[in-house]
Structure 1
Amino acid sequence: MLPCITKKIIGIDCPGCGLQRSFISILNGDFATAFTTYPPIYTILLLLSFLIFQNFIKIKYANKIILTLTLTTVVIIVTNYILKFI
């Protein structure tokens, strides 16, 4: 797996640390480990899936859905990052 440049240079985890391991866990079918490794993985995948799906089928409130999913993902990422240091 790719090393985290931030962790190598500064010595602390970045907000995305665990994303690769979490994604690999999903590919292996280990969904619980994926969540415990990096909780925002599911909202990120949901957002990416919606963005791809929205390119093929126009959805009436797509902008609001994208904004909501993005804000939810950001809040979960920031919360997860803060909880790493507590």
Structure 2
Amino acid sequence: MEEHMLPCMNKQLFGVECPGCGTQRAIAFLLEGEFWEAFKMFPAIYTLGLFFILLGFHLFDKKRNYYKLVIASAVLNGAVLLIAYFIKIYSNTVTN
């Protein structure tokens, strides 16, 4: 499966990982049942899953209003994504 993954264009062009680097590998780890490895690869994988589940409810269940939950999960996902990215950047600069 890994040979069919798309490369990160940001990393190829600029040599710097983007905030989404590791998403494909994290999904592959989830499919293999490696939940901790998926989290280590891309910490926002679980909040991203929550976001898509709530978004699906919002799109398909018109009887209830999921708007506030979708927005809250998007903000939570963005916060986790940025915090994890800055931790990754900081840890790479400290070790190098």
- Please give the range of the TM-score, normalised by the shorter of the 2 chains: over 0.9
Q: What is the TM-score with the length of structure 1 in the denominator?
A: 0.92
Ranked by relative contact order (alpha carbons within 8 Å, sequence separation 6 or more), the top structure is 1
- Within the candidate set 39, 43, 46, 1:39 is matched to 43
Matched AA of 2:67: N
- Within the candidate set 29, 33, 38, 2:33 is matched to 29
Gaps of 5+ in 2: 91-96
Fraction of identical pairs, as percent: 35
Whole-angstrom distance in 2 between the partners of 1:64 and 1:27: 29
Q: Does 1:70 align with 2:40?
A: no
Q: What is the TM-score with the length of structure 2 in the denominator?
A: 0.83
Matched AA of 1:22: A
Gaps of 5+ in 1: none
CA contact under 8 A between 2:58 and 2:67: conserved in structure 1? no
Q: Work out the number of aligned pairs and report it.
A: 85
Give the root-mean-square deviation of aligned CA atoms. Answer: 1.0
Richer in helix (by share):
2
Shift of 1:55: 2.4
Aligned ranges 1:52-67 → 2 under 5 Å: 52-57=56-61, 58-60=63-65, 62-67=66-71
Matched AA of 1:78: L
CA contact under 8 A between 2:58 and 2:70: conserved in structure 1? no
After the TM superposition, list the runs of 4 or more consecutive aligned residues in structure 1 that deviate by more than 4 angstroms: none
Larger Rg: 2
